Amino acid sequence: MRVLPAQLPTYLVKKEEAYSPRGRNAIIRFAIENKLKLSGETERAIFTCLGCGACTAVCLSSVQTKDLIFQNRECQVDEGFYPKIVDRLVNTLDDVKNISDDDNEDRAEWQELIKELPEDAFEKAHADILFFVGCVASFFPMVQKIPANMAKILQKAGVDFTILGGDEWCCGFPPGGCRDGGDRLPAVRQDHGDAGQEEQERSGGKGPDRTGR
């Protein structure tokens, strides 16, 4: 797999073959063939991949390196080779339902960037579209203008939408991409589904609820 160095963010920093797509694919192959034992070194090579897919975009063979790496991470986890800080992340999600350890009720603070905020603050019992904002856009000031501008666009386009506000939980990608192999994601979706069902029952089941059902 030959790609341009400019397309390899981590390789540009590390300058080591193990941090290139070819090196990571080799680690995965040798691990499958039992020719390489997983270790702290393979952990660092596999878990420093950004998952951006830039290597596949310029690969003539379109090798799906990102998908292979995410699958290999599950094997690394089974052997105990993964960034232990992820354990803290999982505990944080269990406690406050977001990655930044903030009060989840503050998810809609990006609304402060909107001068003409409607009375319902976009939190309606029924709507055609659910705007899922996400943790980063909700809590990181440098990107809060993204949901604010998106809300303005939806308003201008006359789209009937709502947000979950404090009822929105992490989508599950961070632990899924780092440690849990995606097992957490269905659980998060189920939690939202249960919350949505309760909302629908309270509202008498009229029209789509805030989960988009």
**Residues contacting 102, CB < 8 A, separation 6+:** 96, 139
- For residues 83 and 204, the model is more confident at 83
Structure confidence at residue 2 (pLDDT): 53
Q: Give the HSE-up count for residue 56: Cα atoms under 13 Å, Cβ half-sphere.
A: 14
Q: Alpha-carbon distance 109 to 163, whole Å?
A: 12
Instruction: State whether residue 161 is helix, strand or coil.
Output: strand
Evaluate whether 167 touches 107 at the Cβ level (below 8 Å).
no
Determine the pLDDT at residue 42: 92
In the block, tokens 């003539």 appear at 60
The band of 61, judged by pLDDT with boundaries at 50, 70 and 90, is: confident
Structural domain boundaries in the chain: 5-78, 102-202
Q: Quick one: pLDDT at residue 173?
A: 81
Q: Which residue has the higher pLDDT, 203 or 94?
A: 94
pLDDT band at 209 (very low <50, low <70, confident <90, very high): very low
Distances (CA, A) of 167 to 37, 64, 110, 164, 188: 43, 35, 15, 5, 12
Which range has the top average pLDDT, 30-44, 78-92, 171-185? 30-44
Q: Compute the mean pLDDT over every residue in the chain, rounded to the nearest whole number.
A: 82
DSSP state of 203: T
In this predicted structure, what is the pLDDT of residue 66? 87
At residue 78, the pLDDT reads: 85
pLDDT tens digit string along 176-203? 777 544 444 333 333 444 444 444 444 4
- Average pLDDT over every residue of 47-56: 87
4 φ/ψ angles, rounded to the nearest 5 degrees: -70, 135
pLDDT in tens, 111-120: 999 998 999 9
pLDDT computed for residue 196 by the predictor = 45
**What is d(CA 70, CA 43) in angstroms, rounded to the nearest whole number?**
12
Q: Which residues, including other chains, have CB under 8 Å from residue 8's CB and lie 6 or more apart?
A: 19, 20, 21, 54, 55
Q: What is the mean pLDDT of residues 134-140?
A: 95
DSSP state of 116: S
